């Protein structure tokens, strides 16, 4: 019985996250209500409050889940049979293709999160730190100790790449995201070369 309750709870949480994404994509975060989210998720208000305190907490959970999915895509793109430069390029391309595959969610996560103020900024920075840690591991595994990338540089590369994504969102060029691979790779090469 307990396993069934856990899987039902996880299913409801997933539906609520998808409901949040759908509602915010249509109305924007500020105009989205709990009623909109539960309608999109096909669950009750009670179910919503069993999982989240408010819509901000739900949006943050959506951001974290989507970011962890993108990080999983990055990790799966790694092929140790290739040098670190090619692995990084493949990972960046896979990440950008993942982002481009869901334009509504992308806009929600890159734009609407900023509407949460310091709370949204904190979770955004936390997820960027996880991506920067991944980049550090990948790059530093393939370089000498003297040429190792510093954590601040990895964070700057991730931040710069995300600014390019945000600019593409603002300009309505989401289909061009994978083409940013070359720019992001050049940036990474510029900061890792002596």
Read off the tokens for 158. Answer: 């991730």
Report the SS3 class of residue 66. helix
**What are 125-162's pLDDT values in tens digits?**
999 999 999 888 887 776 666 667 888 998 999 999 99
Structural domain total, the chain: 2
177 and 134 share one domain = yes
Cut 0.85: pTM above it: no
38 and 77 share one domain = no
Rounded to 10 deg, the angle between the 84-100 and 181-192 helix axes is 140
111 and 136 share one domain = yes
- Rounded distance between C-alpha atoms, residue 143 and residue 160, angstroms: 22
CATH number at residue 39: 1.10.10.60
Burial class (CB within 10 angstroms; exposed 0-12, middle 13-18, buried 19+) of 153? middle
143 and 156 share one domain = yes
**What are 67-113's pLDDT values in tens digits?**
888 888 888 888 888 877 788 888 889 989 988 888 878 887 888 88
User: What Rg do the C-alpha atoms of the chain give, in angstroms?
Assistant: 18
Domain span including residue 35:
1-52
Question: Each residue of 71-86: b (16+ CB within 10 Å) or e?
Answer: bebbeebbeeeeebee
């Amino acid at each position: 019985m307990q396993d069934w309750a856990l899987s039902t709870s996880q299913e409801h949480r997933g539906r609520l996250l998808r409901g949040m994404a759908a509602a915010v994509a249509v109305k924007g975060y500020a105009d989205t209500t709990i009623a909109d989210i539960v309608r999109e998720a096909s669950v009750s208000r009670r179910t919503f409050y069993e999982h989240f305190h408010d819509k901000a907490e739900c949006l943050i959970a959506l951001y974290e889940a989507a970011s962890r999915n993108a990080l999983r895509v990055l990790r799966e793109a790694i092929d140790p049979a290739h040098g670190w430069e090619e692995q990084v390029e493949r990972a960046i391309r896979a990440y950008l293709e993942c982002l481009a595959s869901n334009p509504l969610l992308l806009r929600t996560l890159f734009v609407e999160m900023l509407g949460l103020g310091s709370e949204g900024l904190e979770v955004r920075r936390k997820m960027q730190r996880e991506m920067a840690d991944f980049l550090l591991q990948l790059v530093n595994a393939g370089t000498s100790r003297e040429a190792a990338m510093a954590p601040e540089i990895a964070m700057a590369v991730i931040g710069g790449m995300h600014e390019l994504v945000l600019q593409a969102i603002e300009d309505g060029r989401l289909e061009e995201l994978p083409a940013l691979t070359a720019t992001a790779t050049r940036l990474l090469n510029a900061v890792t070369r002596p």
